[in-house]
């Protein structure tokens, strides 16, 4: 079936570096994507979303880029901090009325001081 | 503002036992869903509901039942627990115009 997947299972960076987490999706009809952060022992937390009518969206220290041509999106975290260490998931919002999420497998981000 | 509350946080069951995982939200969201998360995998959708009285199956519904009698509550029932149902279970709520909010999870072990 359709799926949302990630390229790298683990990303290790130094504090202060910029981090880039990638995600590929297979359903060309997908039009609503969300990035979630999951810390150990907790539920996923919303970071940022993007719809297919946009190529880029910026939040606080985070930027999501969407390339519909190659069905790829990325999450960029500027000036990565130890508190950013977590697993990051991309997810596609779908279903009737955008009622469900299809998640990728996740990338673990490890930030060293 | 409690958000999404799941109980219990931890549970150990014997094979064949039944139990109900509770989920409640106080944001008046129309949509609620249950996901399971296994090691090395993303969350997979079990069942979901778009409103009171309406439920539907997700990707991995076998062995689970749900009902939605009120907007606030969406319990997940395991009919006859199996070791393959050992997992972390997350409940989420959302509306068409909002992000999904997740509970803290229930860690279930079936022995």
User: pLDDT, tens digit, for every residue of A40-87?
Assistant: 989 999 999 999 999 999 999 999 999 999 999 999 999 999 999 999
Peptide bond into B35 cis (omega under 30): no
Q: Tokens 């609620």: give the residue.
A: B32
Number of neighbours of residue A72 by Cβ within 10 angstroms? 14
Radius of gyration of chain A, Cα coordinates, nearest whole angstrom: 13
The shortest CB-CB distance from B104 to any of A1, A42, A46 is to A42
User: Are B40 and A102 a contacting pair at CB < 8 A?
Assistant: no
Check if A40 contacts B (Cβ < 8 Å): no
Give how far A85 is from chain B: nearest CA, Å: 17
The shortest CB-CB distance from A96 to any of B33, B50, B101 is to B50
Read off the DSSP letter of residue A94: E
Q: Does an H or E element contain B6, and which?
A: strand B4-7
pLDDT at position A70 is 94
User: Are A105 and B4 a contacting pair at CB < 8 A?
Assistant: no
């Amino acid at each position: 079936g359709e799926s949302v997947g990630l390229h790298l299972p683990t990303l290790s960076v130094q504090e202060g570096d910029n981090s880039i987490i990638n995600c590929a999706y297979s359903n060309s009809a997908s039009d609503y994507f969300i990035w979630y952060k999951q810390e150990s022992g907790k539920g996923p937390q919303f970071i940022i979303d993007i719809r297919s009518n946009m190529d880029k969206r910026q939040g606080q220290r985070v930027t999501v880029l969407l390339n519909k041509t190659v069905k790829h999106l990325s999450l960029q975290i500027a000036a990565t901090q130890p508190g950013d260490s977590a697993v990051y998931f991309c997810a596609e919002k779908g279903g009737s009325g955008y009622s469900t999420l299809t998640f990728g497998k996740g990338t673990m981000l490890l930030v060293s001081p | 503002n409690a958000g999404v509350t799941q109980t219990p946080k931890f549970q150990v069951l014997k094979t064949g036992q039944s139990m109900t995982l509770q989920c409640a939200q106080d944001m008046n969201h129309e949509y609620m869903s249950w996901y399971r998360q296994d090691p090395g995998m993303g969350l997979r959708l079990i069942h979901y509901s778009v409103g009171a009285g309406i439920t539907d199956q997700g990707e991995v519904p076998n062995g689970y039942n749900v009902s939605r009698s009120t907007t606030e509550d969406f319990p997940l029932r395991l009919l006859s627990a199996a070791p393959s149902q050992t997992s972390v279970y997350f409940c989420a709520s959302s509306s068409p115009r909002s992000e999904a909010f997740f509970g803290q999870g229930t860690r279930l072990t079936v022995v």
